[in-house]
A = this chain, B = another copy of it.
Amino acid sequence: VIDRAAILAVGSELLTSTFVDTNSLYITGELERLGVCVAYKSVVGDDRDELAVAIRQALSRVDLLVCTGGLGPTDDDVTREVVAEVLGRELREDARITAQIEARFVARGLAMPAINRRQAMVPAGAIVLDNRNGTAPGLWIDAGEQVVVLLPGPPRELKPMLADAIERRLAPRTSGLALARRVIRVTGRTESQTEEAVRSLYDTWARAPVPVSATILASLGQIDLHLTALAATQREVEAVLAAAAGEVVERLGLDVYSDNGLKLERVVGDLLIARGLRMAVAESCTGGLLASRLTDVPGSSQYVDRGIVAYANAAKVELLGVPQSLLDAEGAVNEPVAVAMATGVAARAGVEVGVGVTGIAGPDGGTPAKPVGTVAIAAVVPGAVASRTYRFVGDREQVKFQSTQAALDMVRRALLTARP
């Protein structure tokens, strides 16, 4: 039975001060769903000796080793070769893989460079995991009771390949217990306020037949409450988590925007679809990020009509109908301007919901009265106009993100509370 894993990320760039291995987070989540726990994880560079030591080490400690990266075509991609060497397997070219790689190049009108042949080398006895999104195939290698899985580094290649391997090959070899997590997402409260409201639930959960454990995680503009449980079946563990999530929602009310890990832009989109409303946004300091987050959601063309990024004041007047006199009298960063932007963009688009965001993202442009991070936001929905001025802390990108988070949340709360 496989129940202990190690994750080994290979790549010299992951040992610099700028890149961090995030594949292991995704892999951890997938393994946990099968009750396989990650005992440790490591990062090594593109270095044969270090990699060989790390692989031997893993084989002495865990049942399953998942390696990511180092499967590319160039000289510094050494994972395939070192794994074959440590396991004492010969490497042979797999003609079917060579043909597939060649076909990918031909489809783009290119000839396959000779070095890409290296990606078709397979250790004896390995099972090839097809790569739908790239040239490097993955490998599943049984070594006695243990398993070594090699996956390519790019997430879009790794993810579908891992899903396949887990379903078809790993699931039958695990304990059969199901571990699940559920994330409850909260706005409008601090981490400690959230903890105070739900803390008394923890004891009951810990003593239940299927215990639920909880962790609170604060990030920019939101609080996530992570619930985890382990039970005999996926169905049972999910029912337990759903019940626990229900108890949290009872305590936190409207401050919970998703009881199941959805993004805020998706929650807002679902509300708009349910009510048959369309939306337009007018942005200054967020510079298009609000429109971009809204349109990250598949199907958002159903309800997003347009977005106007009116950086210059002239653009606010011309494109949104903000009165020049208002800008002259009050400046560009205040709630009346935000409301004029929101109503202006909705009226010109002929849609029911409008948002206006105007502020100072920094690092320059702040004043004593309106320091960097001052952002006025307005939302118009049928039956209500909401507006508020925020003072966000952080750098330019953080102020932008928090502003879009507050704007989306304002629309959500207005839609849920307004009486049209």
Instruction: Please list the residues of chain A having a beta carbon within 8 angstroms of any beta carbon in chain B.
Output: 11-13, 15-22, 25-26, 28-29, 32, 37-47, 50, 53-54, 57, 61, 72-74, 76, 110, 113, 115-116, 133, 154, 156, 181, 183, 190-193, 195-196, 215-219, 224, 226, 281, 283, 286-292, 294-296, 298-301, 304-312, 315, 319, 349, 361-365, 393-398, 400
Instruction: Please indicate the chain B residues that have their CB under 8 angstroms from the CB of A393 in the complex.
Output: 133
Q: Are B304 and A287 in contact (CB under 8 A)?
A: yes
For A50, list chain B residues within 8 Å (CB).
39-40, 61
> Is chain A's interface secondary structure helix, strand, loop, or mixed overall?
mixed
Do residues B315 and A311 form an inter-chain contact, with CB atoms below 8 A? no
The answer on a CB contact under 8 Å between B226 and A16 is: yes
CB neighbours of A291 from chain B (8 A): 287-288, 291-292, 309
Copies of this chain in its oligomeric complex: 2
Out of B17, B54, B226, B305, name the residue touching A40 (CB < 8 Å).
B54
> What CA separation (Å) do A1 and B295 show in the bound complex?
52
| Cα A54 to Cα B53 with chains together (Å) | 12
A110 to B189, CA, bound (A): 12
Given contacts A25-B18, A215-B13, A218-B72, contact A295 B288 (CB under 8 A): yes
A46-B40 Cα distance, complex, nearest whole Å: 10
Can you report 5 A-B residue pairs in the complex whose CB atoms are below 8 A from each other?
A40-B44, A115-B192, A287-B304, A288-B290, A305-B315
Known: A191-B73, A306-B308, A397-B296. A15 touches B40 (CB 8 A): yes
